[in-house]
Amino acid sequence: MHPNRKMREFERRERDILDTTLTLLTGEQWQTISVDKIAQCTGIGKGTVYKHFDCKNDIYAHLLLDNYRQMLTQLKRLAADDHLTGVQQIRGMLVYTLEYHRENVAHQHMHLHFRQKAFREQISSSYLQQLDDTEEQFIEAFEQAVYKGITEGDVNPDIPRETMMAGVSATFEGAIVMLQEGGCCKQQMMQTAEQKDAYINHVVDYMIAALIRQPADKQEKR
Amino acid sequence: MHPNRKMREFERRERDILDTTLTLLTGEQWQTISVDKIAQCTGIGKGTVYKHFDCKNDIYAHLLLDNYRQMLTQLKRLAADDHLTGVQQIRGMLVYTLEYHRENVAHQHMHLHFRQKAFREQISSSYLQQLDDTEEQFIEAFEQAVYKGITEGDVNPDIPRETMMAGVSATFEGAIVMLQEGGCCKQQMMQTAEQKDAYINHVVDYMIAALIRQPADKQEKR
DNA sequence: GTCATATTGTGACCGATGGTCACAGAAAAT
DNA sequence: ATTTTCTGTGACCATCGGTCACAATATGAC
């Protein structure tokens, strides 16, 4: 009983650290939050934090992983919903994920941090692998919906899979970058929630259109 | 004569700092390069560096600006080339810029750094403005080519400008992220130059096709 | 209840880093 | 030759991520 209780307390402590960090992240940037501050706000010593995480960025990685898993659950739910057509599933996935990023600025920053080589190289390999695995599952869920769309005759089956995935994932990744407030040159373009919503709709329309369009080589004259 | 000579030496010194930094960047990441190291490798004192740049990241911003301007020159050259159709100009611009990122890993990292809110908030406002201005000019050159493509009947004029630019810029921005080695989940997908080249071609095809395709709403059934 | 042992939390400490500034030394002016 | 101006410098500071010897607490034996 006792060792079990200990373990639960240890895990509760870890949750505390993560929750505290999340709270701090609503008010300031990751870079300005020191480990000492996290420890103090959690009400523990700095050394204790390092009993739970190997390095500062592992805390960040853990939070990101939590978010990824939450999103993945929703994506899988969409993929399993047979009331929807493939294209509707695709649209639902894209809109859900982009809106998630829009609503959760801290997550936006985490995601972009994760794309930095230096960050990926520093976090524990365990976190790196889990994060990559989860992203892989995003893609699988998406491709499943695409396949459904093809069998239903909506998605164009002639688009090479590489071209399609290269385009869609790039557009998606870029949209997250562009959704940042002041994250791009046209600062005034992405301030209000309405503007961001409009942007999400445009970009999703663009991606959907790319999936259902006729093959490009019949139209383009080089 | 003397004050002039002084000024020239001062500027030469600045070039030295930048060149040294660029050299160091081929071997290690920006985060692991200390200002002290830059100063020592340039053969000057650390304090002198801060006579030229207000903060460490300003050096990075200056290098990025140099690259942006170099690219802009080429884009403008393409936009002014009347031997090319609008679509050819568009393709040239996209391929050139993406290949520039592919060949210049240091620039890739600079560009992604620039997308981070923390970085944009720290660098001098002068650099921020110049960088944003230059990006704005990228878009102008691109839109000029698109307009040419429309008048030539290749680019679909019915695509709402917002949808088009939202999609293209997102795809473009995302492609840069994806081009990173180990920058995304499928590590093995983007290692060799051939793979990256193939990726660039796919993603450019995708973007071009998006510009010349028929309006989406006539195809999609919601 | 007491002592011995094991486990876990802690904050002083370390090395490194970005940034500052008083001052030395060179150049210009007189 | 002397004063004045200006520029380069590195010692210095504050901060931060990370470590570890030790303290505090829990566990177990008798």
Same domain, B68 and B24: no
Q: Is the pLDDT of residue A218 over 80?
A: no
Question: B109 with B23, same domain?
Answer: no
CB B202 under 7 Å to nucleic chain D: no
User: Given an 8 Å threshold on Cβ–Cβ distance, is A206 in contact with B166?
Assistant: yes
In a domain, B201, yes or no: yes
CB contacts, 8 Å: A210 with chain B: 167, 206, 209-210, 213
Q: Is the pLDDT of residue A219 over 60?
A: no
B129-161 pLDDT per residue, tens: 999 999 999 999 999 999 999 999 999 999 988
pLDDT in tens, B43-87: 999 999 999 999 999 999 999 999 999 999 999 999 999 999 999
Contact flag A29-B117 (C-beta cutoff 8 Å): yes
Is A209 close to B216, i.e. CB distance below 8 A? yes
Nearest CA in chain B to A154: B220
**Whether residue B43 is found in the same domain as residue B85:** no
- Amino acid at position B160, single letter: P
Both B44 and B100 in one domain: the answer is: no
CATH number for the domain including A17? 1.10.10
Beta strands in A100-174 (DSSP E): none
Same domain assignment for residues A60 and A25: no
| Tokens matching residue A141 | 């869920």
Q: A28 pLDDT exceeds 90?
A: yes
Per CB-CB distance under 8 Å, the chain A contacts of B120 are 182-183
Chain A CB contacts of B187 under 8 Å are 132
- Residue B1 domain boundaries: 1-52
As a rounded value in angstroms, the CA-to-C1' distance for B47 and C28 is 23
The answer to whether B179 and B108 have CB atoms below 8 angstroms apart is yes
Distances (CA, A) of A11 to A7, A130, B15, B75: 6, 19, 53, 55
CA distances from residue B204 to A161, B95, B103, B215 in whole angstroms, order as listed: 15, 7, 17, 19
**Confidence at A214, pLDDT banded by 50, 70, 90:** low
From the list A114, A94, A109, the residue with the least C-alpha distance to A167 is: A94
Closest CA to B180 of B94, B96, B111: B111
Q: Decide: B24 and B41 in contact? Cβ < 8 Å.
A: yes
Contact A221 B154 (CB under 8 A): yes
Buried b / exposed e along A29-56 (16+ C-beta atoms within 10 A): ebeebebeebbebbebeeeebeebbeeb
Q: Answer yes or no: do B69 and B107 share one domain.
A: yes
Measured in angstroms, the CA of B6 and the nearest CA of chain A are apart by: 36
Residue A22 has pLDDT above 50, yes or no: yes
What rounded mean pLDDT belongs to chain A?
A: 91
For B215, the token pair is 């309006």
| A222, part of any domain | no
Residue A112 pLDDT? 96
Listed residues B14, B29, B52: the one ending a domain: B52
Nucleic acid strand C: bases within 7 A of protein CB: 7-12, 16-22, 27-29
Q: Contact at 8 Å (CB) between B98 and B161?
A: no
pLDDT tens by residue, B16-47: 999 999 999 999 999 999 999 999 999 999 99
Contact between A77 and B139 under an 8 Å Cβ cutoff? The reply is no
Confidence (pLDDT) at B142: 97
Q: Angle at the Cα of B131 (from B109 to B111), degrees rounded to 5?
A: 10
The band of A3, judged by pLDDT with boundaries at 50, 70 and 90, is low
> In 3-state terms, chain A is what percent helix, strand and coil (to 5)?
80, 0, 20
- Position A163 scores a pLDDT of 84
CB atoms within 10 A of CB B173: 23
pLDDT at A185 over 70: no
User: Which of A36, A52, A68 represents a domain boundary (last residue)?
Assistant: A52
At residue A216 the predicted structure's pLDDT band, cuts being 50, 70 and 90, is: very low
pLDDT for residue A102: 95
In a domain, B83, yes or no: yes
Instruction: Give the pLDDT band (50/70/90) at residue A189.
Output: confident
Question: Quick check: B178 and A173 CB within 8 A?
Answer: yes
Window from A19-23, A179-183, B86-90 with minimum mean pLDDT: A179-183
- Using only the alpha carbons of chain A, give its radius of gyration: 20
pLDDT at A45 over 60: yes
What is the per-residue pLDDT across A104-157, written as a single tens digit (0 to 9) for each?
999 999 999 999 999 999 999 999 999 999 999 999 999 999 999 999 999 999
Task: Spell out the alpha helix ranges (H) of A84-160.
Answer: 86-103, 105-114, 117-122, 125-151
Q: What is the pLDDT of residue A165?
A: 87
Residue B18 lies in a domain: yes
My answer on whether B37 and B125 are in the same domain is: no
Considering the domain architecture, whether residues B125 and B29 belong to the same structural domain is answered as no
Q: Identify whether B221 is part of a domain.
A: no
Decide: B39 and B46 in contact? Cβ < 8 Å: yes
> Where do the H-state alpha helices sit in B53-160?
56-80, 86-103, 105-114, 117-122, 125-151
Structure tokens at A172: 């998606």
In the prediction, which pLDDT does A161 show?
87
Mean per-residue pLDDT for B164-183?
90
Tell me: do B153 and B64 sit in the same domain.
yes
The residue-averaged pLDDT of B208-215 equals 78
Rounded to whole angstroms, the distance from the CA of residue B69 to the C1' of nucleotide C27 is 36
User: Does ipTM top 0.85?
Assistant: yes
| Measured CA A2 to C1' C2 distance, in angstroms | 22
Chain A residues whose beta carbon lies within 8 Å of the beta carbon of residue B139: 185
Contact A166 B202 (CB under 8 A): yes
Closest residue, chain B, to A106 (C-alpha): B117
Q: CATH number, domain at A135?
A: 1.10.357.10
Give one word for B160, left, alpha or beta, with left for phi > 0 and alpha for psi -120 to 50: beta
In terms of average pLDDT, the best of A103-112, A211-220, B183-192 is: A103-112
Name the residue among B70, B184, B88 with its Cα closest to residue A119.
B184
Does residue A220 sit within a domain?
Answer: no
Q: Residue A34 falls within a domain, yes or no? A: yes
User: Does B78 lie in the same domain as B101?
Assistant: yes
Reading phi first (left if > 0) and then psi (alpha if -120 to 50, else beta), residue A17 is in: alpha
What's the structural domain count of chain B?
2
Question: In this structure, are A158 and A200 located in the same domain?
Answer: yes
Other CB atoms within 10 A of residue B18 CB: 18
Q: Is residue A32 part of a domain?
A: yes
**Smallest CA–C1' distance to C10, residue:** A45
Q: How many CB atoms lie within 10 A of CB B90?
A: 27
**Nearest chain A alpha carbon to B88:** A222
Does nucleic acid strand D have an atom less than 7 angstroms from the CB of A26?
A: no
Residue B165: per-residue pLDDT: 87
Q: What is the interface size between A and B, counted as CB pairs within 8 Å?
A: 188
End position of a domain, from candidates B52, B78, B93: B52
Say how far apart CA B185 and CA B202 lie, in whole Å.
Answer: 18
Residues B101 and B123 in one domain: yes
Angstrom distance (rounded) from CA A163 to CA B206: 6
| 8 Å CB contact between B99 and B179 | no
CA distances from A190 to A17, A52, B166 (A): 32, 38, 11
Average pLDDT over all residues of chain B:
91
Q: Is the CB of A44 under 7 A from strand D?
A: no
* pLDDT for residue B186: 64
